[in-house]
Structure formats: structure tokens, C-alpha cells
Chain A
Amino acid sequence: MISQFFVLSQRGDNIVFRDYRGEVAKGSAEIFFRKVKFWKEDGQEEAPPVFNVDGVNYFHVKVVGLLFVATTRVNVSPSLVLELLQRIARVIKDYLGVLSEDSLRKNFVLVYEMLDEVIDFGYVQTTSTEVLKSYVFNEPIVVDAARLQPLGPAAIFMQGTKRMPGTAVTKSVVANEPGGRKREEIFVDIIEKISVTFSSSGYILTSEIDGTIQMKSYLSGNPEIRLALNEDLSIGRGGGTIYDYRSSSGSGAVILDDCNFHESVRLDSFDMDRTLSLVPPDGEFPVMNYRMTQEFKPPFRINCLIEEAGQLKAEVIIKVRAEFPSNITANTIAVQMPLPKYTTRASFELEPGAVGQRTDFKEANKKLEWGLKKIVGGSEHTLRAKLTFSQESHANLTKEAGPVSMTFTIPMYNVSRLQVKYLQIAKKSSSYNPYRWVRYVTQANSYVARI
């Protein structure tokens, strides 16, 4: 049971404020914002998503830079409230096409209308875009998506790849397109976030894939859909430790540690033929979340070397090798490495002929940054940096610097080998043939090499 719901901009302005129970004083938004902003004096630490000030519990989630906040005085389930806040953000996005400060401000009346139906007297009534459609009467005022910060991992599909219809993911579920007709289409995105930690000798210490099959349907009449996954997919790793790498790599089977499913998914034939059937509700939702610790080939190998090069000087060499096929290209790669605290200067040397690369030494937090626009599969890139120190280092340099961390996005590639074999839409008529988009993407969650 929640007492208030509000959305704050990055500067702390109320964009939407709804009081459901009148139990919490009106100034709560300001109290909250001050607390979040100045959580610890040094500003180093982030406020946790839930905290208590004078008997009022504040919950918040950050979505595209906005703060979605709920308050209550009761000892409720934190998962429920945080899940709800996230869901409200998603429903709003379904409606407005794009979720941003601008779109919220333009549509705040619609949002109020929605909030009245989502929560009544603090109790959740519904968060289904589908159900809400019949209660909400305001037409969304669609804002231009192009210049806005996108929401969610699927947004990377907007970044250029020609195969994708650029605006599709930012389409409102209710608004008609300029032509007046709605395009029949459905998106299925397989999004995998990978975490790998390499030891200083290049050995994989931990690795995990957190995947989601995300769906967004614009099909009219809600036809039933069948989604077939790899037949050799198995779930749960019986016995043994989860990190027993040798057990499965040879067989080629895809073994998930565990997974969960959206409410609408029916698993009647899942055990037999690995097929999920569902009637997709409107809007965006995760069909299935899965987790995998089975061994996989990491898409990048990182080599890093730091050694003294004379008095008050050292050299860093970072090598990144792409170990995926050459028809695949990773983009928006960023490599970071903390340098010794007493580093005063860093000069960089890229390989000859390097394009689309950027280097930087962040003086304030003593960090080396190396950005690459793209890396083609099979290629290798090297960065050399000469460091100048303000004092002599006493200890081992490798204890003073690193680890190297990396972020990247690899479209049309997934490391788990989980696949959507086919996507079947129950036919209405022989001429009914909606667009189906099945897209894969791999992103780095925590990709770290120790030195």
C-alpha cells in the first residue's frame, strides 16, 4: 500500500504528483530529493533505492534520468513497490512511445488519468497497458524520438543498423501513425548482458549471461503466438557446482541455470519441444528472463601491461582482441582503467591509421579512457599510454592501477547460442502476414580484466 507517487526531474521538479492516502505530508518530494542528492557528504555514494526519513519510507527507481518515487508509512514489500514503479514507467512509455522529461510534461494529464486507474487508495489495481486502454481517454502527444535519450536495452536498435525500422520501438501503442493506419508488426529481442572477470593471467574467473527475451507487439486483435527456442535447450544444472566449466562445453547444448516467464506465457509444450505460447499483451514486456553460467567464448580478450619506464614514469599497454566472426561488428566500445593516484599526466599513442578512436585522461578521478566507435570481428587494437607520476611509487604498480573494464554492444550476436527458431502467429486469414522482427544483441554488464 503506497501513500504517494511522484515523478521528479533531474533537477528535482515535480512533473507528476499524486497523493493517494493523505498520510504523508506534502513536502515529501523535497525531503526526498534533498536526501537523494546529498546522501553522503562526500557525494561518493549513491542513495539506496529505499530509505526511511522520519517514519516515511521512500522508494525510487531511476528511468531515463527521471526519478519515479513512491512513499508509504507502512512496512510493505519493497519488491512490490519497486516493481510497480518500474512498471508504471513502462506503461507510460507504452503510451507515449518515448519516455522522457519532455514527453511526460507534454502528457501529464494523460499520466494522471492513468495513475488514477493504476492505483486506488494506495492499492494496485492494474498495470496492464491492455486494460488501461479502455480507461484512458487522453490522446498522447507524441514527441520527436530522434533527439531523446532512449529507454531500455532495445533502444540500441535505433542506433543505425539499417535492417531495423528506426522509429518502431518508440511507437505508442495507442497513437496511430501519420498515415492513419497501424502497421502490423511484432518485435522479439534477445538481449544478453554478459559479465566476465579475467584474472591477471587471462584466465576466466567468473562469467555469467543474464538474458531477456523481450517482446513488443503491435498486432491488432491479439493473436496467439508461438515462439520456438533451441531444441537442445535445457534448464537447471543438476548437482555439482554451478561453475563446473568442463561439464558442458563440448556438447553444444544450451544449458540455462534458471529462467522465469511472463504471466501470459503458457508452457504446455515447453518440456516437449521448447515452445512458448502466449497471447502477447499490448506494450513491451519480458517474455522470459534467463541466467546462464555455462562456459562461453568471451567476445573480447583484454591484455594489459603496466610497468615502470624510468624515474616517475610508467607505460601502459592495453590490447583488445575481438573474438567473434568478421561479419559482426561491435559498437560504442569504451575501455576504462584507473591509474595510480599520483599520476599527473598521460600521453597516448594509438596504432597508426586508427579511426573513430578517442582517448582521455580524467584528471579528477585518475582514469584512463579509451573509446572506439566500432570493432570488427577478428581484429585487434592496441593503446599505449605514457604516464608521468608526481611521486615515486613504493609498491607494486599493478596494485595501484586497474582493473581494466570495458563496455560494448554487439548487435546481431549472442554468446549463449539461445535462439528463436521460429515465431508463429496464429493466422487470421491467408493474406495476414505481419512484420516480424527477431533481433539479437549482446552487451557488457561487467567486463573486467585484472592486471
Chain B
Amino acid sequence: MAPPAQSQRSPSPSQPSGKSEVSDLKLQLRQLAGSRAPGVDDSKRELFKKVISYMTIGIDVSSLFGEMVMCSATSDIVLKKMCYLYVGNYAKVNPDLALLTINFLQRDCRDEDPMIRGLALRSLCSLRVANLVEYLVGPLGSGLKDSNSYVRMVAVMGVLKLYHISASTCIDADFPSILKHLMLHDSDTQVVANCLSALQEIWSAEASTSEEASREREALISKPVIYYLLNRIKEFSEWAQCLVLELVTKYVPSDSSEIFDIMNLLEDRLQHANGAVVLATIRVFLQLTLSMTDVHQQVYEHIKAPLLTLVSSGSPEQSYAVLSHLHLLVMRAPYVFSSDYKHFYCQYNEPSYVKRLKLEMLTAVANESNTYEIVTELCEYAANVDIPIARESIRAVGKIALQQYDVNAIVDRLLQFLEMEKDYVTAEALVLVKDLLRKYPQWSHDCIAVVGNISSKNVQEPKAKAALIWMLGEYSQDMQDAPYVLESLVENWDEEHSAEVRLHLLTAVMKCFFKRPPETQSALGAALAAGIADFHQDVHDRALFYYRILRYNVSVAERVVNPPKQAVSVFADTQSSEIKDRIFDEFNSLSVLYQKPSYMFTDKEHRVPLEFADELGNLSIGEAANNVVPTQMVEENDKDLLLTTSEKEETKGSRNNGSAYTVPYDGSSTSVFASQAQIESAVSNPTLAGHSPQASFAIDDLLGLGIPATPAVPSPPQLKLNTKAALDPSTFQQKWRQLPVALSQEISVNPQGVAALTAPQALLRHMQSHSIHCIASGGQSPNFKFFFFAQKFEESSNYLVECVINTSSAKAQVKIKADDQNTSQDFSTLFESALSKFGTS
């Protein structure tokens, strides 16, 4: 019987389940099963094809299992392969029937043809049926010893598959140690590569429960293994090279000559046409040189050209992946790329995700010499047909303005944007001008002249409208018709849908009132009335608050709502440097594309390759890291608190007058604004009692920013330390060698401290709670020696300390070295105070 011609109709998932077709196929397969007629193989092929095409489009053909197995007695290799594919797909849901296939698969595993042996072994291991594992051990064992490399290659992956079906069977059969032997001795590099993949997976999974496994895992990155693989690297396929390079990243060379040897050996990998090989090589280079600042710098210079070549060759998808990595490097070291800015110009036909990366890069590399050209280019994009990109371009111009000293020309450009009369351009530009004024109040004159010409009717976007209103309030003395514009806005209160805008309007009218009372009075009355009647809780509360404070005392109200402001010097970065470092550590992975560290997008169980790196990282941070969790957690909470508040400060700038912190309101308005000290104690004491001093400094500071009664003389900035500072030992060592001693002094240790210092760990924990971290410690009573380090808050400026404490003399010899010498005295004070509190709390 001739098989029906294969249907040309393209199947689609929406078509009926194909039940009748399947039973049809079943019948035909049965008829063919026993037949030995000539040409039967061809008929079978057609039928098998049909089965597999159904399988592909998602029709369930598992009911044919029995018939498929019956038909599989054949010497035709194409048929065999189709059958293997089918069996692999459905064995898991048909464990009983899968048993039927074991027989012929095992027989095929002993076939003369190595191809058949390999295929059968692969299929056997792909069944994924737990109660069949006993049948795998034998064939796998002989497969690993097979004379043919193809079979060995398959067998090694088979071991890994077995491990995932039944880890204990795999371990009991001692397969991992066979793989280890093969990895170091097999002549075929793909066998070696597969062993490496399999062992990494197996030992990483086992490491949590078995110490031996974690030792074995460590052994993978031992010098002999690494050198063995590195010396053969060119024999490996490009994909296996990536695997080896990834392993090398985890290797810690003993000295710099080793580092240079490895880099020289891998040098030509940078010229590989495969981007994955190049990026893996770059990662090795970057990791190896982390503690060698000059060389690290040279690496950046060196990898620039290959990266740019990869970006411009290959498919758009590949170049996007490479560009994301380039983006990461540019953000880390913009100055290295500042002369390459033209490479980051957008091409009109690039997808938005590429343009966005490029805009950020252009923003980052802008410096005194190229700003003019970059801003000119960005201004071209502002007229772009792609509106989201046009917006981003304008924002980029603004960011450049905020990070430059000479913003003269840029301000002009921004003001030109306002004159372009495209609503989205105006909207973006308004927001920018507002931010610019908060940082450079000296530009107010020029800006206000232009902003004054913008009709509030042409501004619809809430953010832009809020910005405009903020400026009207803040600069109402300079803008002739500010009270009238505000008044008309108040008149249309009900049509304003955005609560954010209404909040701004309230505050702006208040400010305007203090500056030009007669002109604003009626508007203020209307605004407060509308605000108090507002259905939005925040708007209502703020209006009521303004109303009551005005009633209490107008001049107090002015001090609260419209205090003199200090210019914002730096807008908070949205991403912490810790996260950025984390992403950098995960170079050549998805973390770079998503711009978040892997723990944010990967489930725990799939974090295998990374946990590896994590543990290494922990090892280097220092022994005390695990013991201090409670304190650290508390501090993190504190920091979170600070962060959220300061973010508010950033995004809702003008709001902080009224609502960035909540003042307890109890109806008796008299006591509320008694004095700053009272507020301070009310706010800071309950949350901060018993906490480290620098945390409360931060709160003080923050409050100082907004509280009206703050004395005009700003106190000198207190030194704040990063609670989560991190430094790896090699960097520490290197810095210790390079930096001169900034301060050397003797400090007395109080008796309680001496008593508490029975072991080094006690002091470590204590100092850690003061954000001074230990990198190494040792000694016994009476002599203890410590190396500490600390980092300035939000800056990567380090302090290194050598501290030798003699408990019998109750004296500490302290040597301090600092990246920033000017603050070493401050740090010393901090250190001394931290040390003096040891044992007292």
C-alpha cells in the first residue's frame, strides 16, 4: 500500500487536534510493522515523517508509541533516527512502553557501526525515565571506553543525562571520576569539552551536600587543569573554546607573570570572527587584570578595536549583544572611549534598543573636547521621526548639561528645543530646564526668559506641566505674569487629571504668594479651597496643611514652603555602584543585556555557573563576613530608607517642601513647628536609637537639606562610609604597596575593649558595624594584628588601615593610607571613635 502523499498544506497550531489522522497513521504503521516487502522502508519513512511533523506542530502522537517501536526493527539509519527522535520525545510520558525500546536500543549500542552505537546510546540516555536507569549504566560504561570518539562524546553527555535522571546511580557508578580521567587524557577535544561541561554541572550540584564534590569543583580551576586546557585551546572548536575561557575566568593566577603568560597565549583569540570567543577572552583579560590598574587600563584600550569590529560585522542581533558589552565598558571607563564617540552615533535604520544604548554611551563619553559635536548630533535626533528616541536624545542633552562644567552652549540648545514647537520636545525640554535650574540656579535669567514665553496650554504631559509650574512658583518674582498664569491654572483645577500637577500647583501658588502677595492672594484662596475639596488624599492633605500653617503664622509658613535653597550638586544615580560591579563581574552573560545582576532574573536552581563565582567572591571578602549578618541587615534597611528618601528628593524635587517627610500632625498646630531640634528628635530618635553614628549623620544631613530653620552656615561635610564596601585582597595588597602612609598614630584602647578582645573576630564584627571592614586578621593575646578597609559613601575612595593592638599595654598602633589624602584625618577620627566604642556597647 502506498503512503498518502505528504500534505502540502501548512499546518498551524490552530488546526483540529488531528485525532482521525492519528488513528489513520496507527493503522498504516501496523500494516507495515511486520512487512518485509521491498520498498517497505520508503513507505515507513513517509509515515514516520508524518508522525514527526505532527509532533512538531504539537499534535499528541504519543498513542502511536507501540506501533512506532514495532516498526523500528530496521537497518535503515534514517528510519532509526526518526524513531529515536520520536521515542526521546514521548518516553517520559509512556514509561511502561519505553521499556519496549530498551531492548533494541541496547542491541544497537553494540552495533558494528560506531554511528549506530552513538545514536543508540544518545537515545537510550534521552528517555528520561527514572526506573530504566539500571539499563543505562552498562552501555554508558562501555561507551566511555569506546574506541570511537563519536561514541565517547555521546557517552559523556549520556553520563550528564543520567545524573539528571538519577544522581545517585551516576555517582555510585563512579562515572564522574571516569569523566575526570577522560578530560585529562582523551585525544578528542570535543570529548574533553563535554567532560568539562558535565563535570561542572555535576560537581556544582553535588557541592552543596558533599565536600569532596566541592573539592573536585575547585580542582577544575587548579593550575594543572587550566594549563592543560589552555595549551590545547586552539584544537578546540570555537564553542568549546568559550567553555574553556569561561573556566579560565575563575582561575586565580599566583603572580603577574602568570597573568601575562595567559594573556599572551590568548591574545590572538581577540581576532576571532566569533563574537562569543572574543567576549569570553575579554572577560578573562578583564578579570585577570582587576588588581593591576595600569594593565587593566591597557586592556580597555586593547579590546576597543575588536569590539567595534564585532559590532559592525555580523547580524544585527549579534552586534546588539556585543554593543551591550561595549556599553558596559563605556559606562565604567568613559574616558577610554571619549575619542571614539562617533562610533556611538545612531544610524537611522537601527532598532530602538540599539539607539538607546548608543545614546547612553554618547552621554557617558561627553567631555570638554567632544561635547559640542555630541550635543550637535543629539540635537539632530531630537527632530527624529522616532518620537521615543527623540525624547531620549533630549534627555541625553540634559544629562550632558548636568554633568559638565561649561554648560553655556548646551543651555542655548535646550532653549532652542523649547522654540521648536513640537509638543513632546517642549515637554522633555521643560523637565530638563527645571533640573538644570536646580543645579545651576545662575542660569535662571536666560531660562526664565524663554520659559516665560511658553503657554501652559501647549503643555499637556504631567511631568512637563509640573516642571513648568515648579518654575512659575520658584521664579515668580522674575516672571512677569506668573501669578496670572497660576491663577488661570487654578481656575481649571477640575480639568487637571494629574494629582502630581495639582500638588505642584498648590506649592507653586504658595511660593508665588510669598513673593507677590497682592497679585496672588485670590489665586491662593481658590487653590486652597479646591485643594481641600480634592478627592485625592495627598492633594487634600497638602492643601489642608498649607491652610493651617498659614493660619498659624505666615512667616513660619514661608520658611517651611519657600526656604532659600542650595543647588543640587549631584543627582542620585539610579543604579548603585554595587549592582554595577556585580554586572561587571558577570561580563559576557545575560546580566549585561538586561542590565541587572543574575540573581534578579534567574531562579535559584538555575544559578549553577554563577554560584561558583559567588562563593569565590565570598572567600575573598574575609572570614568575618558570615558572622555579622544581623548588624548588616539592619544597616541595609537603614540605607534603603535613606535611598528611598533621596530618590524622592531627586524625582519630585519641588515636593520635598511639603511632603517628603511627614510631620506628625495632631491638630494642635502650635507645637508642631516649635524648633528644628524637636523635629529632629521626633524623626530620628525612634528609628535610629542605638545605631551607628554615621547613619544618623546621614539622616541629619538629609533633614538639614529641607528644614527651613537650618542655620545658614553649612557645617563641613561629615565623612560617610559605604556600609557595603567591598575590596578584594589582591587590590588591597596592591594599594597598600602603592600608597604612602597618610597617618600613623598610637591610640589607647579602653579597658572594656581590652577585655572584649579575646579573639580577633570580636573586633571585626564591631568595626564592621561602623562600616570598617576587615580584610585580614591574626595573632593571639596579647598581640593582634588587623588590616581594615573602608570606602567613602558613594565614591570609590578607599581607606586602608593597619592596626596592631597590644592588649597588655592597651595601645593600638594605627597606620592609615588613603586614596584621598585630604580626608584621611576625618577618617582617622572616625576610626578612633569606632575603636573607642569597642566593648562598651
Q: Using a CB-CB cutoff of 8 Å, which residues 329-354 of chain B contact chain A?
A: 339-340, 342-343, 345, 347-353
Q: Could you list 17 further interchain pairs (A-B, Cβ under 8 angstroms) beyond the known A79-B322, A210-B312, A446-B349? A: A13-B57, A14-B58, A46-B351, A57-B601, A75-B609, A80-B239, A82-B317, A86-B315, A109-B48, A121-B161, A124-B240, A127-B239, A208-B312, A257-B308, A259-B309, A289-B313, A290-B309
With contacts A22-B92, A75-B590, A259-B309 taken as known, whether A109 is within 8 angstroms of B82 at the C-beta atoms is yes
Cross-chain contact A116 with B314 (CB below 8 angstroms): no
Chain B positions within 8 Å of A305 at CB level = none
Q: Are B122 and A120 in contact (CB under 8 A)?
A: yes
A14 to B52, CA, bound (A): 12
Q: A44 to B594, alpha carbons, bound, how many Å? A: 21
Q: Which residues of B contact A78 (CB under 8 A)?
A: 321, 324, 589-590, 592-593
B347 and A445 contacting across the interface, CB-CB below 8 Å? yes
List residues 13-70 of chain A with CB under 8 A from any CB of chain B.
Answer: 13-17, 19, 22-23, 26, 30, 44-46, 48-50, 52, 55, 57, 60-62
- The docked-state distance in angstroms from the alpha carbon of A120 to that of B240 is 13
Shortest C-beta distance, B74 to chain A (Å), equals 13
Residue B380 CB within 8 A of the other chain: yes
Q: What is the minimal beta-carbon distance from A86 to any residue of chain B, in angstroms?
A: 5
Nearest chain B CB to A22 CB, angstrom units: 6
Q: How far is the CB of B84 from chain A (nearest CB, A)?
A: 8
- Whole-angstrom CA separation of A261 from B234 in the bound complex: 14
User: B348 and A13: CB pair below 8 A?
Assistant: no
Task: Report A283-336 residues with CB < 8 Å from chain B CB.
Answer: 286, 288-291
A137 touches B77 (CB 8 A): yes
In contact, A49 and B317 (Cβ under 8 angstroms): yes
Task: Tell me the B78-130 residues at the A interface (CB within 8 Å).
Answer: 78, 81-82, 85, 89, 92, 115, 122, 128
Residues of chain B within 8 A of A195, CB atoms compared: 347
Cβ contacts under 8 Å, B318 to chain A: 61, 79, 82-83, 86
**CB of A377 within 8 A of chain B?**
no
Flag whether A251 is at the interface (Cβ < 8 A). no
Stretch at the interface among B8-16, B214-222, B556-564, B659-667: B8-16
B830 at the interface (CB under 8 A from A): no
B273 touches A260 (CB 8 A): yes
Q: With an 8 A cutoff between CB atoms, is A74 at the interface?
A: yes
Q: Is the CB of A123 within 8 A of B194?
A: yes
A-B pairs under 8 A by CB, number: 246
Please tell me if B36 contacts chain A, counting CB pairs below 8 Å: no
Q: Are B81 and A57 in contact, with the CB atoms below 8 A?
A: no
B380 close to A206 (CB less than 8 A):
no
Q: Is A83 in contact with B421, judged by CB distance below 8 angstroms? A: no
Q: Does B684 contact A (CB under 8 A)?
A: no
Q: Which residues of B contact A113 (CB under 8 A)?
A: 78, 81
CB distance from A203 to the nearest CB of B (A): 12
Docked-complex contact A260 and B310, CB < 8 angstroms: yes
- The contact of A257 among B92, B160, B276, B305, by CB within 8 Å, is B305
Tally B residues with Cβ within 8 Å of A: 102
Stretch at the interface among A162-170, A224-232, A395-403: A395-403
Is B367 among interface residues, defined by CB-CB distance under 8 A? no
A77 within 8 A of B: yes
> What are 17 A-B pairs with beta-carbon distances under 8 A?
A13-B12, A45-B353, A73-B603, A75-B586, A83-B318, A86-B315, A109-B78, A113-B78, A120-B154, A123-B157, A260-B272, A260-B278, A260-B313, A263-B273, A289-B273, A395-B421, A400-B383
> In the bound complex, do residue A241 and residue B339 qualify as a contact, i.e. CB atoms below 8 Å apart?
yes
B606 within 8 A of A: yes
Q: How far is the CB of B270 from chain A (nearest CB, A)?
A: 8
A57 to B596, CA, bound (A): 14
Q: Is A422 an interface residue (CB 8 A)?
A: no
B237 within 8 A of partner (CB): yes
Residue A411 at the chain B interface, CB threshold 8 Å: no
In angstroms, Cα B315 to Cα A85, docked, is: 11
- Indicate whether B242 reaches chain A with its CB closer than 8 angstroms: yes
- Closest approach, in angstroms, between the C-beta of A26 and any C-beta of chain B? 8
Report the Cα distance A105→B663, complex, angstroms. 70
Highest count of chain A CB atoms <10 Å: which of B11, B81, B128, B388? B81
User: Closest Cβ of chain A: how far from B219's Cβ, in Å?
Assistant: 21
How far is B347's CA from A445's CA once the two chains are assembled, in angstroms? 9
Among A49, A79, A109, A123, chain B packs the most CB atoms within 10 A around the CB of A79
CB-CB under 8 A from A448, the residues of chain B are 347-348
Query: 7 closest A-B pairs (Cβ-Cβ)?
Result: A446-B347, A80-B276, A289-B313, A49-B317, A258-B305, A124-B239, A210-B312
Whether B317 lies near A14 (C-beta < 8 A) is no
Residue B837 lies at the interface, judged by CB distance under 8 Å to chain A: no
Q: Which residues does chain A contribute within 8 Å of B324, judged by CB atoms?
A: 78
Contact of A46 with B352 at beta-carbon distance under 8 Å, contacts A75-B609, A109-B49 already known: yes
Instruction: Take A49-B320, A73-B603, A289-B313 as given contacts and tell me if A13 and B13 are in contact as well, using a CB distance cutoff of 8 Å.
Output: yes
Residues of chain B within 8 A of A236, CB atoms compared:
305
By a CB distance below 8 angstroms, the chain A residues around B349 are 405, 445-446
Known A45-B388, A61-B317: A77·B49 in contact at CB below 8 Å: no
Q: How far is B122's CA from A445's CA once the two chains are assembled, in angstroms? A: 45
When chains A and B are docked, how far (Å) is the Cα of A210 from the Cα of B82? 43
- Chain A residues with CB under 8 Å of B160's CB are 121
Contact residues in B for A120 (Cβ distance below 8 Å): 122, 153-154, 157, 194
Measured between C-beta atoms, what is the minimum distance from A295 to chain B in Å? 13
Within 8 A of A (CB), among B549-593: 586, 588-593
- Bound complex: CA of A121 vs CA of B156, how far in Å? 11
User: Chain A 86-113 against B: per-residue CB contact (8 Å), 1 yes, 0 no?
Assistant: 1000000000000000000100110011
Task: For B126, give the chain A residue with the smallest CB separation.
Answer: A121
Known: A242-B342, A257-B309. A14 touches B56 (CB 8 A): yes
Residues of B within 8 A of A60 (CB): 317
- Contact string against B for A residues 127-166, beta-carbon threshold 8 Å, 1 for contact and 0 otherwise: 1100000010110000000000000000000000000000
What is the bound-complex CA distance between A84 and B608, given in angstroms? Answer: 22
CA distance A344 to B73 in the complex (A): 71
- The reply to whether A291 and B312 form a contact with Cβ atoms under 8 Å apart is yes
Report the minimum CB–CB distance from B790 to chain A (whole Å).
Answer: 31
Is the C-beta of A450 less than 8 angstroms from some C-beta in chain B? yes
Are A75 and B305 in touch, CB under 8 angstroms? no
Q: A11 on the interface (CB 8 Å rule)?
A: yes
A395 touches B420 (CB 8 A): yes
Query: Which residue of chain A has its CB nearest to the CB of B283?
Result: A77
Cβ of A77 and Cβ of B242 under 8 Å apart? Answer: yes
Q: How far is the CB of A212 from chain B (nearest CB, A)?
A: 6
**Interface residue? B477 (CB, 8 A):** no
For the complex, what is the distance from the CA of A38 to the CA of B203, rounded to whole Å? Answer: 41
Task: Kindly state whether residue B610 has any CB partner on chain A within 8 Å.
Answer: yes
Residues of A within 8 Å of B419, CB to CB, are 395
- Which residue of the partner chain B has the closest CB to A110? B78
Say yes or no: A80-B313 contact (C-beta < 8 A), given A116-B81, A291-B308, A403-B348. no
Residue numbers in B under 8 Å from A291 (CB-CB): 308-309, 312-313
- Interface assignment of B306: CB less than 8 Å from any CB of chain A: yes
Q: Closest B-chain residue to A135, C-beta based? A: B115
Is A243 among interface residues, defined by CB-CB distance under 8 A?
yes
List which B689-734 residues lie within 8 A (CB) of chain A.
none
- Kindly state whether residue B745 has any CB partner on chain A within 8 Å: no
Indicate whether A126 reaches chain B with its CB closer than 8 angstroms: yes
Q: Which residues of B contact A286 (CB under 8 A)?
A: 273, 313
Chain B: minimal CB distance from A34 (Å): 12
Interface residues of B in 51-65 (CB under 8 A from A): 52-53, 56-58
Contact A108 B52 (CB under 8 A): yes
Whole-angstrom distance between the Cβ of B16 and the nearest chain A Cβ: 15
- What distance in Å separates the Cβ of A129 from its nearest Cβ neighbour in chain B? 13
* B760 contacts partner chain A, Cβ-Cβ < 8 Å: no
Q: What CA separation (Å) do A225 and B316 show in the bound complex?
A: 30
User: Could you say which residues of chain A place their CB within 8 Å of the CB of B325?
Assistant: 79
Complex formed: what's the CA distance from A11 to B11 in Å? 11
On whether the beta carbons of A55 and B161 are closer than 8 Å, the reply is: no
Interface residues of A in 261-288 (CB under 8 A from B): 261-263, 286, 288
Q: Which residue of B lies closest to A3 (CB)?
A: B606
Residue A378 is within 8 A (CB to CB) of chain B in the complex? no
